[in-house]
Structures are given as structure tokens and as C-alpha cells.
Amino acid sequence: MSTDLQYREDGELRHFLTVEGLKRDTLTRILDTAETFISFGEREIKKVPLLRGKTVVNLFFESSTRTRTTFEIAAKRLSADVINLNPNRLATSKGETVLDTVRNLEAMHTDLFVVRDAHSGAAYLIAQHVPPHVSIINAGDGRHAHPTQAMLDMFTIRQHRQDFENLKVAIVGDILHSRVARSQIHALNILGVPEVRVVAPRTLLPTEVERLGVQPFSDMRRGLENVDVVIMLRLQLERMQGSLISSQQEYFNLYGLTPDKLAYASPRVMVMHPGPINRGLEIASEVADGPHSLILSQVTNGIAVRMSIMALLMGGQAARRED
């Protein structure tokens, strides 16, 4: 997919659809701006008026209360008005198209759409059809991308390591189906992480995965050797039924993150997971709740990173409306 759509002519960010093709400067600016928001959660009054008077629509064709809540909180802390919509894909395909739905909401002067959909490319399709003063954030589209998740992961890494340049990072789990992994890999590459590993059974790795700029491992202990960061993916339980994985117990034995496997990593290793965690399936409770875990920091950082992206997208909007 073309990513030019993500930039305006003046080089400012217009949409946030995928990490792929973004400049390192852009990612760094998102992280820097998020840092200015990270103290807000601690402050007595957590609101800033940056998006006051703006209307943000959470347009979740695929429902996800958890992700929607993070965008809702982020938008409200920026003082935006937030409308949550969970339109039925079936209903929209009956006569009125998805684009009709979007055009209608846009006609109500929505400034920003946060779009989630089970189909890859949905946010991109919408972004192609909105006027210049409307921005789109991709909150997950099919197996394609989940760029805000990747950015909050980068933020969490940077909080604990000075720079990205000497890191070894391993992503563990169902790489094949994961939009999160795809976005993380792009972000790690763009930010200059020299060694990105993916750890999974062969059946859960894309063919020619090396082309993404990663090293594949099927043995988890070898994959974790000396890594600075372990990012666990959530195992989609509904896929366990199929033939891809023989049994939950066997999966946990081979790829579940346990203290003994974690011992192969760097002593200062960071453990991350996008949540919600499946305790005892892809991660042992001792690790999830242990001293290396940054899982709850990721959640906190997720609000700041989403505020940052919203603020950057809306930053130049005023000028643009006059074009």
C-alpha cells in the first residue's frame, strides 16, 4: 500500500495508517510529543484543550472495547467530543456502503476518525476518500497493521533504553496472523534496531519472513539468547482449534514465556505484551507479573502515544481548512 497518503505536501502527518514507509523523524516526533503527555496521567487535572471543539468518531467495525477505550480516554484528555460507533458491517453493506457511512459522519463535521476493521486496508480506503481537513487513524485492520500499538511499544522501549541502536529484540508468537508484529517490525527497522528476531513454529511464520528484515527462530531458547526486549504476542484462542498448533499445553511448553526460558535473555530484559494476556498460554503469570514485565506501562504509554498522534494530526488542521 502506498504510504504517501500519510503525509501532506508540507511534510506534516495527515493520516496514521501504517508504520511502513514513515520517516524515522516522524516516529521520533511522535515519541517526543508523547513524552510531553506522559506526565498528564499523574497530574491533578489531566485535560489539555488541544482538541477542544473537535469531534472524534471511534468507528469500530470490528468491536474491541479495550482498544476503543484507550482512544476514547486519549481524545477526552485532549478535550475533544467523542462519538463511539460500532456499525454492523452487514448493515452497511445493505444498500449503504462503508464509504456512505463515513461520508455521512464527515458531513457532520467529524475531524478525526479512528477506524478498526477486520478487513485489511479499511482505514486506507477511507483515508483515500476524505477531504483534506479530515484525518484517519488506523486502530487495527485485518492482518495488516496496528500502528498505534507498535508506537506505544517503541515508546516503552525508549523509556528504558537510551537509544534503539544497540538492541536485540525478539517477537514471539503467531507472527503469520499478527498485525501487531507487522507494525512492530517496521517500527523497529525504521528506528534502527540492528537485530530483530521472530520466534514461532514454522507454521506461524510467513514464508520468506527474512525479507521483512528479521531473523526467524523456531527454538525459543535460542531465539531469546541475549535479547534486550521480548515482545510476546497474544495467541488467538480461536485459531487453536485448527491444525496450526497441536495443543495449548504443547504450545505453552515450546513457546510460552516462562522464567526458565527468560533466563536465556539479557539480565535486564524487558518483557512486553499488547494484552489482554492469556495467563498460562503464551505467558506464565510469574513472568507477566514479574520484575521484567512492562505490560502495564505499555497500557499507560498507550494513552500518551495516542494523544500524541491525535495532536500531531490535528495540529495543522486549522490552516488546512482554509486551503
Q: Which of these, 60, 65, 145, 130, lies nearest to 313 by C-alpha position?
A: 130
Minimum CB separation of residue 63 from a copy of itself in Å reads: 11
C-alpha cell at 222: 535460542
Site string for a copy of itself, 99-138 (x = CB under 8 A): -xx-xxxxxxx-----------------------------
Instruction: For residues 320 and 76, give the distance between their C-alpha atoms in angstroms, rounded to a whole number.
Output: 23
Between the alpha carbon of residue 81 and those of residues 148, 193, 200, 237, the distances in Å are: 20, 38, 42, 35
Scan residues 250-309 and list those touching a copy of itself (CB under 8 A): 275-281, 296-297, 299-300, 302-303
Q: Does 96 bind a copy of itself (CB under 8 A)?
A: yes
Instruction: For residues 197 and 177, give the distance between their C-alpha atoms in angstroms, rounded to a whole number.
Output: 16
Q: Does 89 bind a copy of itself (CB under 8 A)?
A: no
Minimum CB separation of residue 152 from a copy of itself in Å reads: 11
Residue closer to a copy of itself, measured from CB, 196 or 232: 232
CB distance 255 to 282 below 8 Å = yes
DSSP 35: H
Residue closer to a copy of itself, measured from CB, 24 or 109: 109
Interface segment toward a copy of itself; rule CB under 8 A; list 81-89, 121-129, 134-142, 213-221: 81-89
* DSSP secondary structure string for all residues of 37-55: HHTGGGSSS---GGGTT-E
Minimum CB separation of residue 40 from a copy of itself in Å reads: 8
C-alpha cell at 20: 511502513
First to last CA, the chain: 27
Residue closer to a copy of itself, measured from CB, 15 or 77: 77
Instruction: For residues 41 and 47, give the distance between their C-alpha atoms in angstroms, rounded to a whole number.
Output: 9
The footprint of a copy of itself on this chain (CB under 8 A) covers a number of residues equal to: 52
Sole residue written with cell 496450526: 244
- Examine residue 131 and say whether the peptide bond preceding it is cis (omega within 30 degrees of 0): no
Classify 266 as helix, strand or coil. Answer: coil
Amino acid at 78: L
C-alpha cell at 281: 498460554
Minimum CB separation of residue 84 from a copy of itself in Å reads: 9
Residue closer to a copy of itself, measured from CB, 103 or 143: 103
Instruction: For residues 266 and 207, give the distance between their C-alpha atoms in angstroms, rounded to a whole number.
Output: 29
Between the alpha carbon of residue 91 and those of residues 105, 106, 129, the distances in Å are: 16, 19, 21
Site string for a copy of itself, 202-241 (x = CB under 8 A): -----------------------------------x----
Residue closer to a copy of itself, measured from CB, 11 or 107: 107
Site string for a copy of itself, 24-43 (x = CB under 8 A): -----------------xxx
Site string for a copy of itself, 44-73 (x = CB under 8 A): xxxx----xxxx---------xx--xx-xx
Chain residues binding a copy of itself by CB under 8 A are 41-47, 52-55, 65-66, 69-70, 72-73, 76-77, 81, 83, 85, 87, 94-97, 100-101, 103-109, 237, 275-281, 296-297, 299-300, 302-303, 318, 321
